[in-house]
Structure formats: C-alpha cells, structure tokens
Structure 1
Amino acid sequence: MSNFSSITTASNPNPNKSIEVAQPPSDSVSSLSFSPKANILVATSWDNQVRCWEIMRNGPTVGSVPKASISHDQPVLCSAWKDDGTTVFSGGCDKQVKMWPLLSGGQPMTVAMHDAPIKEVAWIPEMNLLATGSWDKTLKYWDTRQPNPVHTQQLPDRCYALTVRHPLMVVGTADRNLIVFNLQNPQTEFKRITSPLKYQTRCVAAFPDQQGFLVGSIEGRVGVHHLDDAQQSKNFTFKCHREGNEIYSVNSLNFHPVHHTFATAGSDGAFNFWDKDSKQRLKAMSRCSQPIPCSTFNNDGSIFAYSVCYDWSKGAENHNPATAKSYIFLHLPQEAEVKGKPRIGTSGRK
C-alpha cells in the first residue's frame, strides 16, 4: 500500500492542494519574485517571457489574474523588483537586463549588459543601484540612468547565486567560491570562503540580521554559515531533499519575512520549512511530480509561491514536452509551519 501511495504522489503535480496560478509559462520557470508592496507575482521562463499576475486574496480564497508580459530574445533566468514596487528587472541568456516600468505601463528598456548570460540580478535600494552577476565572471553595479556600469567587480568564476541584505552581499560562483561583500565598501571583497558543502553551489540566502547566510548545493545539503569568527561554532550543515539513495539539488532558499525561518525547495519536487536556530524541520510537504526550481514568499509571508516543472538537471534527453507541463502554485503557510519553535533542551538537535 505504501508503494502505491508513493506512486500516486509522484504523478501528482499538486499533492499539497495549493492554488494554481492561471496561464503559467509554456516552458520551465526560472525565477519567481513578489512585489515588495503588493501581491503582484512575476515569473521568468525558458520561453523567453517575463509574466506578471495579480494575486487576489479574500481569506482562504485566492485567485490569480494574468496582467502583462514582456519578451527577451532568449531564455530569461532571473528577476528582481525595485523596492517601491513600480519596476521589474529581468536578465538572462540574451546577456542583458531589461527594466520594465510595470505599474506605469511603460515599455521595457535595456539597462545592463554582460558578455555572457546574466544569472542573477538584485536591486539595492540603499545604494540606488542594480547589481548583476553573470557567467562572464563579473559582478556589475548599474545606475539605471547611465549606459555604463558604475563598477565592475571581477569574480573568481561564473556567478551562480547572489543574495543581498544591505550591507551584506554574498555571491556564489562555480568551483564552490562564496564571495562576501560589505556594500559600504563594495569594491573590495570582504571575505572569500570555500563553500562548506562539497558540491556545486545552487542558491544562497542572507540571514535577515545580516550576520551570515545559507548556501544550498546540488547534493541535497544546506550550510548555515555565520560571518563572525566568534560565531563559527554555530555553523552546521544538514541533509535535505533526499529519498533513500536518491540525492536531489536544493534549488531555492527563502527566509520568511516575519518569522525568519526559511523554506527550501528541491529537484525532488518537495518544499520544506525549517528553523535554523532550533535546528528543526517545521514542516515537510508532499512531493510534487516534477522538480521545484524556484520559490518565493510575498512581502508579509502569507503566500509562498513555487513552480513545478522540469529543471533540466537531467538534460534535454529526459525532457518530454508532452508531459512536462509547467505550473506555478501558491501555498498559504499555516503559522505552525513557519513560526520558529523554542530550542529543545540545550542542544536543540533534531
């Protein structure tokens, strides 16, 4: 009986009974970003599109209305909002970032360029600058009113992941480098760390208190790393997104904006909620039938958006367009799923 139930779960894209977003992208979703000011969701996709939905919520009833979209010339890999919620930035394989004045209905314009695909983009309101990380091994800062970057920072390798909580910025590159910047002095590396995880970095997330960061790898592990040398004893790694001998990538790390617990999402099709301080998993959700490549909380943490689609980790030969439909789902976290728990005893071990 248990085998049968696992089979039915594995073939169901929505075993957690989440709310399905209307008119999802026609190809895999690469990033999800909520407006910091409203329940407006943006998704970028391998179908070269950036799409926007308005999410309406009335108690437990949630609906989505497709609002607008723009095109890139090639697959789009990343997105970010301006802090005032007016504007979306998107970058990808066409080596450019487009600035889309979404709320005013304006036309998108190119505001950043690299020599290779742009993997990460982040708006830094404290500096009024856009940061872009590329596979051309550079990090660039842009004043969107000027055609040239205000600073280009050489990276040791291709940018794979980026997280900002001013003044902390962490860039994860190929070859397991983690480069830490203090944005009060952005032209100098603050610290360079070799990832505590043995395999390729997939995602990073700065602590809300800027005292450290999470790093996730392709090998189903997350590292919790503090920057202060006096706090190194608090560092640890843990396994997640594994099923028996099967090991899956950790694709996404998101801190809850209120409770400061965090979510992981992986290529096993599962998402989980964790409390790093008590070292506990708060909630494990059922596995979806395809990987979860990206996820995000809305601005008050009442909605968790995640995509379910092929993530290309097994190559083009395992991609079946007939069955590989892309979905975006909305989960409404219960407080018990995302609110931290007091440490058990003194060790707080799981």
Structure 2
Amino acid sequence: MAPVTEHQGSFLSRISRRNQIVSMDVNHEQELEELEDFQKHVAERFTELLSPSNTTTTAADSPESDPILSIQWLRKLLDVFMSCESEFHSLLTSNSSQISKPPLDKLVPEMLDRIVKALDICTAVVNGVDLVRQIQRLAEIAVTALKQRPLSDGSVRRAKRALTSLLAALNADKNSVSSGRKTTTAEQWSSMGRRSGGGGEGCVSKNWSAAKQIQAMTANLVAPRGGESSPIYIMNSVMVVMMWTLVAAIPCQTSNGLTVHLPLPKNQVWASAAVSIHERIGEELKRKEKRCGGGGLMEEMQRMERIGLKMMEFSEGFRFNGEENVVEEVAEMEEICRKMEDGLEGLQRRVREVFHRLIKSRSEILEAIDHCNG
C-alpha cells in the first residue's frame, strides 16, 4: 500500500472531523427528541390530575368523588410521580456516560441530596397517615354515640369527648400554642406516631421539620440558563411538587411554613399543570395557616372538621327532643370514615412504594457514577 501523503492525511482529518460533527449533531438531535418526549409525558400526567375522568360510569366513580387533595387524588399523584420517575430513569441511564461530566456532574449530586430529604418526608408522611387513622377512630366513636336511639345524655357526652379530641387533633398547631402546653406539636405527632405502631420506614428526630426539608429541597432548584429545561431539572421539580403536596395534605411533624415559592417556569408546557396545582393548593394553605397553622389539607380531613364543628355545636346544646337535628351530619361523617377506611391503607402503601423506588434509583445512580469514574 502506498504511503499516505500530506494531502491525503489532511483530507482524512477533514473527513474524521466531519463525521464527529455529524455524530454530535445526531446525538444532540436525539437528546432534544428525548427531552421533548419527557416533557410531553410529564405534562400529560399532571394534566390528568386536573382533568375529569373520561371513564366514569357510576356516581361513586365521578370526578367529584376525587377532588384535589382527596385520598384517591393523592394516590393518583403518587402514580404520576412513579410514572415520571420511570421515564426519567430510562433517560438518565441511557446517557450514563455523561453522568460525571458537566453539567450533570453538579446536578446529579444535588438530586441525590434531594432524594435523601424526600426519603425523610416519605417517612413522616407514612407516620402522618397513621395519625389520620387515629382521627378517623375518634370520628367513628362520635358517630356511634350519636346514632344511639333513643339518644341519651351519656351518649352525647361520649360523642362530645371524642369530638373535642378530634377537633384538637385537626388543629394541633393552634391548640398547642393557645393552651400553653409545654409539649411541642412536633413532639405530639412524634409520640403519637410511636404509639400507633409507626408503620413507616423509621422515625425522624424531634427537631426534624417537614417544612424545612421542603425549603431545603427548593433552595438550589434553579432553571437551566437560556430558559431551556433539562430532564434532571424537570424531575427535581416534579419531586419537589409531589413532596410539598404530600406535606400540605397530610399532617406531618412541623409543617408550618409551607407557603414557599416553587420556582416552576409557567411558560414551559411540562410545568403548566403543576403550576396550577401548586397555586390552588397554595391558596388553601394560606387560609389554613392564617386560621390555625400547619398542613393537613386532605379533603376528607377538611370536611371532617366542618362536620365535627356542627356535631360539637349540637352536643353542647343537646336537648332530649333534638335527635333529628344531627342525623344528616352523622351520616356524612360516617361516609367520610368509610372513605378513609377504604383509602388510607392504599395511600400509605403507595408512599412506601415511592420510598423504595427512590432508594433503588439513588443506588443505581451511584453505581453509574462509580462505573464512569472507575
């Protein structure tokens, strides 16, 4: 074979560089396509949380039966997160060689830190569901007492005691301040969680705060320059939105101060529905914090409080000829208890699934980093 001349070498170098550029263009085009698909997936799944169901066949399955922050809606939210996380993980692992290179070399460690904080929040939420169960039991005691016929003074007293505890639990932050008790709200929730048998993946410390965890998760959540989104920024945002919503809905240890700004780009298609959800919950949260502080916006708990106040009013003014005045409220409270009985276990199970999915995802990301550095 004849030796390669200088001219031939120059020509081959140009061909090589051209092929590299073409390869880079193809890879970039593929990344843009994958990003577009991921954004579309996130947008569609979050839009489902705002849209009425198209498969309703009975009154029990109607959209009105799953309002925002209801138990069933929260279960759907967790399903949306799992679906988005699965799509994201496929994206990340398909480009695992880039995981230790800029900009992922900085973004990935931040995500791993958020996952650790999210695991703590999952633990607090699982324990919080146990506390909601205790509130449900108090409501059931009041319902049973006020369903007695003829309604006696003793039954009304039993109902009143249960309702007093129920309303105090629903407004724990307000009562812990106004009554001057030495025990903090965080300690109340923590000790009650231990008495209820836990059921979570562990315990958080007495000084732990769900609201502070959320604030820490949003602290360095910054959109990429140029207004473009990246898969890791989108997934971080999805994780923060979900954890914030869970803490707002379910009474967690020290959930005061949740009215934080979530830096979501309203102009991005993927974020539009998430922003709407955040704004709607945020307005309700502001009203709740002005009134008594803390989270606990679960739709069933909100209804339980309204009905409980009416039942308490009846109990305090009870006269033996007034039985029928509370029949409707008792029936509605009984229906809420039934929904909680049916839904809380499934909700708790979903949170545990998210907990274990996050652990697995974090381990696989760490393995990918070790492989790149090895």
TM-score scaled to structure 2, two decimals? 0.25
Structure number having the greater strand percentage = 1
Larger Rg: 2
Could you say which structure has the greater relative contact order, defined with CA pairs below 8 angstroms and 6 or more residues apart?
A: 2
Structure number having the greater helix percentage = 2
TM-score scaled to structure 1, two decimals? 0.26
